[in-house]
Every structure is written in C-alpha cells, then in structure tokens.
Amino acid sequence: MSLFGQTVICGILLGGMYALIAIGMTLIMGVMKIINLAHGALVMVGMYITYVCYKSWGLDPYLGMLIAMPALFLIGCLIQKYMINRLVEVDSILPENQVLLTVGIMLVLTEVARLIFKSDYRSVTTGYSSSTFFVGDMSISVPMTVGFFIAMAFTYLLHLFLTRTDLGRSIRATAQDRNAAVYMGVNAPRVTVITFGIGSALAAAGGSLLLPLFYLWPDIGHLFTAKAFIITILGGMGSTMGAIFGGLTLGIAESLGATYISMGYKDVVGLVIFLFVLLFIPGGFKSLTKR
C-alpha cells in the first residue's frame, strides 16, 4: 500500500511541475493558434539563468526563479514582437511558417547555450536537494513538494489574472475569437506579445523548480517540448485547467507505469494515454467539461 501511495504522490508532485511548463505552451497555443516548438528551449534558457544566478551569487534556485521569470518574459516578448508578429503580418503562403520559425528559434537557443556552457551536464546542489520527509513508509522529496506547491500557486495566480483583470480578459477574448476581440477594441498584437511573455516566464518557472531535482544540458529542451506537447493535447489546446489535469495525468501515469510495469516503459504509458485521448476524446479533457 505504501508503495502505491508513494507512486501516486510522486506522480502528482512531478505532474504539477510538468503542468506549469505545459500551461505556458497551452496559453501560447490558445492565443496564437501556433505550436511553439521552442518552448522546451525557453525552459532550458530559464534553467541556465537560474543556474548562473546560483553559481555566481549563490542565489537559491527558488529565488533565482524571480530573476529568470522576468528575463524570460522579456525574451518571450521580444521573440513575439520582432519575429513571430512580423511573420503574421506578411500573410505568408503557409501559416505553418510560424511553427517553422519556432523550430529555428529552438535551434538557435540550444546552440547558443552550447556555445556558452558547452555540452556538460550541470546541476545545482542545495542543502535541501536530497532532503526528504516520511509519511508513514513513504519518502517524499522536499524540493519536489515545494516545487509542486509553487507550481500550483502560479497556476492559481494565472487563473486569477486571466479571469479578474482587463488584460487577462483581453487574452481570453483573443484566444476565443481574434477578429471579434479586435472589433471590441482589443490590441491583439500587444496581447500576443504579452501572452508569449507570460508563457515563457511560466516555462522558466517550471525549469527553475525542476533544477534542484534534475540536471541541465543544452538539449534538455526536447524533453520538455515533448512533455508539454503531450499535456497540451491531453488537456485540450488553450485550456489552463486542462493543462493541470493533463500534467497530473501524465505524471501519475508515468509513475504508475514505472512502478507496476517497468521503468523502461514509463514513457510508453504516457504516450499510450496520449494516443487514446486523441482517438476517443480528440478535443482533450477540456471538451468533456464544456459540453
């Protein structure tokens, strides 16, 4: 029983952090209708910023996050303003060009990171990195728990922001129907810039929360892009709540798969769920609640 509990709790905690990364992606996807394949690379940049803060000034990763998030917000805004929005304006032959652009951005970010930091694995070892507490027989990692609660707090704040503020409402309006939003006086290009910024900042937050647990190298982005992509589809594109459910589902599924099937197949479990969702609920979890 304690094994089952341990498995589920680990899955939930990890899933919460996956969700935070995925929310950034789903937000961007909802508003811009494009898949941002540079998302994982943005997580990676956020992690490196946190890492540098830790190495140079001994700043705790949870505090480093407060530097990484604004920095990534800025980078995200700049990418949207000077790259993606330019491509939207020219009305290119293929709308897919925007997706291609994000692939290019991903490559540039990854290789720049490699240029600066080499391909070495890096990690942050803090005093609490491997501290745990026990609930019964279950050993629960402190940084994982902290990460989970911070992730949930950010999600809640984002929810408040989207539902209670004018800017948040404009973002949702743009996501629902861009043209209608423009007629109502929403400055759509500005909204997309801010959305991309927020999405990137959330990616950075997710990365920073994982840093004390995991390690870092320039190609780590692919891992997160893939996970965020799966979660976004699971939850339904553009849905914050969907992303949380998607993240938790993926986390728990991976964890249960690792315990009861085999750790070698843990990714398979997540991907099988992904396939079933695509086949039977193509709109993701979001579509279940809306009907």
Partner 1 sequence: MKRITGIFVAAVMIIGIMVVGGCGGGGAKPQEQAAKKETVKVGVILPLTGSEAMFGAMEKNSMEMAYEELKAAGKTTVGGKEIELKFEDDQSKQDAAKAAAEKLINQDKVAMLSGGYSSANTNVIAGTAQSKGIPFLIVTGSADEITKQGWQWIFRGTAAPASKYTGALWDLMDKVIKPKSVALIYENTDFGTSSAKGFRKVCQDKGINIVFDQAYEKGAIDFKPMLANMKKTNPDVVFAVSYVMDASLITKQMKELDFNTKLFIGGAAGYTMPEFKENAGDASEYVASTTLWIPNVAWKGAADYFKKYKEKYGKEPDYHGAQAYATMYIIADALGRAKDFTPEGIRQALKSTDLMTIMGPIKFEDWEGYTNQDKPTTYVVQWQKGKLEVVWPEEAASAKLVFPVPNWKERK
Does position 60 interact with partner 1 (CB under 8 A)? The reply is no
Residue from 59, 78, 112, 114 binding partner 1 (CB under 8 A):
114
- Interaction of residue 6 with partner 1, rule CB under 8 A: yes
Distance CA 86, CA 39 (A): 19
Is the Cβ of residue 144 or residue 198 nearer to partner 1 in the bound state? 144
Residue 136 binds partner 1 (CB under 8 A): no
Which is nearer to partner 1, 11 or 76 (by Cβ)? 11
Q: Which among 55, 214, 60, 66 has a CA at the least distance from the CA of 126?
A: 60
Instruction: Rule CB under 8 A: choose which of 130, 165, 187, 289 binds partner 1.
Output: 130
Minimum distance from residue 159 beta carbon to partner 1 (Å): 24
CB 186 to partner 1: min, Å: 20
Would you tell me the crossing angle of helices 39-57 and 2-32 to the nearest 10 degrees? 110
Closest CB 286 distance from partner 1, rounded Å: 14
**Residue 264, exposed/middle/buried by CB under 10 A (0-12, 13-18, 19+)?**
exposed
Q: What residues between 179 and 208 interact with partner 1 by CB under 8 A?
A: none
Q: Which of 147, 121, 148, 142 is nearest to 130 (CA)?
A: 142
Instruction: Name which of 107 and 281 has its Cβ closer to partner 1.
Output: 107
Amino acid occupying residue 205:
A
Binders in 66-85 for partner 1, by CB under 8 A: none
- Residue 117 as a binder of partner 1 (CB under 8 A): the answer is no
How many angstroms separate the first and last alpha carbons of the chain? 37
Sign of CA dihedral 41, 46, 51, 53: positive
| Spatial separation of the C-alpha atoms in residues 241 and 232, rounded to whole Å | 10
Q: Does 56 bind partner 1 (CB under 8 A)?
A: no
Using the rule CB under 8 A, give the single segment among 28-36, 50-58, 181-189, 242-250 that binds partner 1. 28-36
In the bound state with partner 1, the residue whose beta carbon lies nearer, of 36 and 73, is 36
The tokens for 44 are 């990676």
Helices (H) and strands (E) counted in the chain, each on its own, are: 13, 2
Q: Are strands 138-141 and 132-135 parallel, antiparallel or unpaired?
A: antiparallel
When the beta carbons of 7 and 192 are compared against partner 1, the nearer one is 7
Question: Interface with partner 1 includes 228 (CB under 8 A)?
Answer: no
Count CB-CB contacts under 10 A for residue 199.
28
Write out the two tokens for 112: 């720049």
| Closest to 22 (Cα-Cα) out of 285, 232, 278 | 232
Q: Which letter, b or e, does each residue of 155-167 get, where b requires 16 or more Cβ atoms within 10 Å of its Cβ?
A: beebeeebeeeee
Which residues within the stretch 266-285 sit at the binding site for partner 1 (CB under 8 A)? 266-267
Site string for partner 1, 237-266 (x = CB under 8 A): ------------------xx-xx--xxxxx
213 is an interface residue for partner 1 by CB under 8 A: yes
Q: Rule CB under 8 A: which residues touch partner 1?
A: 3, 6-7, 10, 14, 33-35, 37, 94-96, 98-100, 103, 106-107, 110-111, 114, 118-121, 123, 125, 129-132, 139, 141, 144, 210, 213-215, 217-219, 222-223, 226, 229, 255-256, 258-259, 262-267
